[in-house]
Structure 1
Amino acid sequence: MKLMKLPKIQSRSKKSVLRPAMLDEYTTADLREIHTVVIFLKSVVDWTGYCKMTFTQSYDLCVAAGPALILAIYEARDMEPMDEKYLMWDSWADIPLFAGFFSRPLEKNWAAREVSAPPEGLAHLNYILETVPEDLDAYTQVGSATYPQQGSRLWTSATWEHLYLDPPDFLRGRLSFNRLETDTLNTFLGPHAWPTSIADLIASIYDDIELQPEFSDSKMEDALCGDCLGKLIREHLHLWLLRRKVDDGWVPPEDCWYGYDCNTQHATSKNHLCAPTK
């Protein structure tokens, strides 16, 4: 994308004019790409440290400061680099300069050109890739090679650390209601189940657990959609937990007939990390 020269503006005090004027030098296709990049940058900020922004200007400040700040936030897994940027300002009265840093000028350009704004959801990603390379087009689904719906997000070992999930929710049957097992799982994963633990968990499922028949052809290098990856975790997490407990010295008692579907959950008197047999 070629940078354009900013047109001369008589009154430079009119800050609200500068950005729309600059963006107006780009084609509509370029503006849609800029819009998608801004959404991506904001999503990186949102993901980092599972932060919950209390006001939207925080996102705009990060974007206004530039990709270098967002990269620093990502690498630190912490919002401290952004806090340092806040110290640059004498008062909160300065911050409104950054409200809607890109969204507002883009809205003005959409309106001036009489074109619709990019759609909500993942469809806007289509403005970045016009075509998908053949070697990336197919993804692995349980039992077959197929194609995801347009806009589907694919997950590989390179992106597992970005997953949002609470591991106990992925235990089979009623195990997610069993405090003994969920507490043990959280202990093995760490007190907060940081994203790196999630990546290690999935890798360990592939490396250390015998995969269920429907996943027998699945490999760690495969790209899976969210549904298939969730199914992989759900089908094997209780087996992973059983393996970890045994490796930690636990001697399993007799298997419960109802396994992970048991309503009683006999605490330590029975093993529920198994499939029902009755």
Structure 2
Amino acid sequence: MTMGSYNGLPLDDDILDRIMTFCPTFGTLQSTILVSKAFHRVFQAHPKSINRSVAYNIVGPALPQALRVVRYPYDGYTSDGDPSTMAEVCPEDHDPSVITAEEKETLQENSRVVAVLEDIYSLTNKDRTSKTSVLTSEESWRFRRAMYRIMLYCHLFPGNRYSKEEIDPSDEELVDKIRKQRISILSDYPTDDLRELHSAVKFLCNIFDSVTNAQSNVTEALLSTGPSGVLRAWQHRSYHVLEDDIDLMFFEDDEEIPIFIKSTARTTPARVVLPPGGLKLYTAANWDRFPIILTNLLKNNLKLNQTVAQPFYAATAHLVNSDALGPFLGDLFALKIHTAPAFDDWEKTDSYCFMCFTKFLEEHLWIWFLEERTKGGWTSPEDCWYGWNCRTQVHKPSHAETKNHLCIPKKGDPA
């Protein structure tokens, strides 16, 4: 053991080596190496093992699968060749080969994508109250391993590999070749691992279904964009963000498209990573995904009164498909109105079903809007006796404009 003393570091070389192996990112490792000549010297002596340790800190135990992704395309393998040779060219192993600067960058980006997807998976399948993953270490490893394998699959068979003009579903020879290529890749995994992949694909399907209105041909095609495509669609709440990654012309027809992943996840349950769950109850962690148009939740006939609905839509437009929706809905719990005593004991830390939470919003959005307009300088005209229940406000613009309907009915049925 050599004692380092430069820059006040009287530490053994093996301790300096150990310190570097605990770096959480490659950027941190680089900064550590620049701290002193002692760190630099030790790193130069053991670059493979130190880089490998930091890569493991970033990716976790799914590192073999993650490295397999970043090292595609491989020497000796082409997408036009026999895919069954891919396993031999770049097997899933723990080979301590040098990790290049480009591979480090891609490893970190792919790890970010997989980590965010794990958070979403945990939220939608395990604990709907936590926006960060609560998967066990075993569950997390299974999930991440499956994600990296799907990434690899989608690198091998990208959605832009063929154009619509090149694919003829009646060309049985071409379709059979494509299917055999895919089968040869999947056949490399043991049965239990295939079940994990199936569970992961089901999860990805569910995300795409939520942004495509469950058009099966669209979902199957979009899966070819892989986990990164799924994450972008989730974040933008639309699949149109992927138009540069895949030919959207494929989606114009209802016929099945033979070149994409064919998921059986819709008919066969997968309980490998976790039992299926979902956003069946709503909490502060998933309010931003509440699937309803706020304008439709205006009280009774207010939604049909354009003098109310239009400015309400303008006031809430920034909440559409936005993470800002969650905090906004949480603030409604601070509104206590005597017309809705059933909600007096509601707390935003609790869980609510879709129907109940919808009713809560109907009872509170109108009063929020009234307060918001008043704060903005709006002067309320005389209240209509029938308030939000008024039918005249729907078909008589002059009445809608000259009377205030954001109020409790004084006549008629207030319910």
Compute the TM-score of the two structures, normalised by the length of structure 1.
Answer: 0.65
Give the match for residue 275 of structure 1. Answer: 408
Give yes or no for contact 2:319–2:325 (8 Å, CA) kept in 1.
no
The yes-or-no answer on 1:26 pairing with 2:187 is no
Q: Which runs of 5+ in 1 are unaligned?
A: 5-12, 88-94, 108-116, 119-123, 133-150
The yes-or-no answer on 1:264 pairing with 2:392 is yes
Give the drift of 1:214: 1.0
| Cα deviation 1:83-102 (Å, max 9, x = unaligned) | 33237xxxxxxx94533x13
Give the drift of 1:250: 1.3
User: Aligned ranges for residues 63-212 of structure 1 at < 5 Å?
Assistant: 63-77=223-237, 79=239, 82-86=242-246, 96=257, 98-99=259-260, 101-103=261-263, 117-118=267-268, 129-130=274-275, 153-190=280-317, 193-196=320-323, 198-207=325-334, 209-210=335-336, 212=340
Give the drift of 1:153: 0.6
Counterpart CA distance in 1 for 2:257 and 2:199 is 23
Moved more, 230-239 or 57-66: 57-66
Structure 1 vs Structure 2 CA RMSD: 3.8
Q: Going by fraction, where is helix more abundant, 1 or 2? A: 2
If asked which structure has higher relative contact order (CA below 8 Å, sep 6+), I would say 1
| Cα deviation 1:123-181 (Å, max 9, x = unaligned) | x587764599xxxxxxxxxxxxxxxxxx7711122212222212221111211110111
Structure 1 residues 103 and 242 mapped into 2: Cα distance closer, same or farther (>3 Å)?
same
Structure 1 residues 82 and 157 mapped into 2: Cα distance closer, same or farther (>3 Å)?
same
* Partner AA of 1:70 in structure 2: V
The yes-or-no answer on 1:248 pairing with 2:366 is no
Give the drift of 1:210: 1.7
Structure 1 residues 220 and 74 mapped into 2: Cα distance closer, same or farther (>3 Å)?
same
Counterpart CA distance in 2 for 1:218 and 1:192 is 23
Give yes or no for contact 2:221–2:257 (8 Å, CA) kept in 1.
no
The structure having more radius of gyration, on CA atoms, is 2
Structure 1 residues 80 and 273 mapped into 2: Cα distance closer, same or farther (>3 Å)?
closer
Give yes or no for contact 2:388–2:407 (8 Å, CA) kept in 1.
yes
Give yes or no for contact 1:190–1:197 (8 Å, CA) kept in 2.
no
Give yes or no for contact 2:343–2:360 (8 Å, CA) kept in 1.
yes
Out of 203, 208, 211, the position equivalent to 1:40 is 203
Give the drift of 1:39: 3.6
Moved more, 188-197 or 160-169: 188-197
* Partner AA of 1:26 in structure 2: T
Counterpart CA distance in 2 for 1:263 and 1:80 is 40
Out of 222, 225, 230, the position equivalent to 2:358 is 230
| Cα deviation 1:59-104 (Å, max 9, x = unaligned) | 22432332122123334555466333237xxxxxxx94533x1326
Give yes or no for contact 2:270–2:276 (8 Å, CA) kept in 1.
no
Counterpart CA distance in 2 for 1:200 and 1:252 is 28
Give yes or no for contact 2:388–2:406 (8 Å, CA) kept in 1.
yes
Give the match for residue 220 of structure 1. Answer: 348
Report the 3-state secondary structure (helix = DSSP H, G, I; strand = E; otherwise coil) of the residue aligned with 1:190. Answer: helix
Counterpart CA distance in 2 for 1:102 and 1:39 is 11
Structure 1 residues 25 and 84 mapped into 2: Cα distance closer, same or farther (>3 Å)?
same
Give the drift of 1:258: 1.2
Give the drift of 1:249: 0.9
* Partner AA of 1:16 in structure 2: R
Give the drift of 1:234: 0.8
* Partner AA of 2:403 in structure 1: K
Give yes or no for contact 1:60–1:98 (8 Å, CA) kept in 2.
no
Structure 1 residues 251 and 199 mapped into 2: Cα distance closer, same or farther (>3 Å)?
same
Q: Which runs of 5+ in 2 are unaligned?
A: 1-141, 150-175, 248-255, 394-398
Identity between Structure 1 and Structure 2 (%): 25
Counterpart CA distance in 2 for 1:73 and 1:34 is 20
Compute the TM-score of the two structures, normalised by the length of structure 2.
Answer: 0.45
Alignment length, in residue pairs? 224
Report the 3-state secondary structure (helix = DSSP H, G, I; strand = E; otherwise coil) of the residue aligned with 1:85. Answer: coil
Give yes or no for contact 1:153–1:225 (8 Å, CA) kept in 2.
yes
Structure 1 residues 235 and 126 mapped into 2: Cα distance closer, same or farther (>3 Å)?
farther
Report the 3-state secondary structure (helix = DSSP H, G, I; strand = E; otherwise coil) of the residue aligned with 1:103. Answer: coil
Give the drift of 1:185: 0.5
Counterpart CA distance in 2 for 1:17 and 1:130 is 31
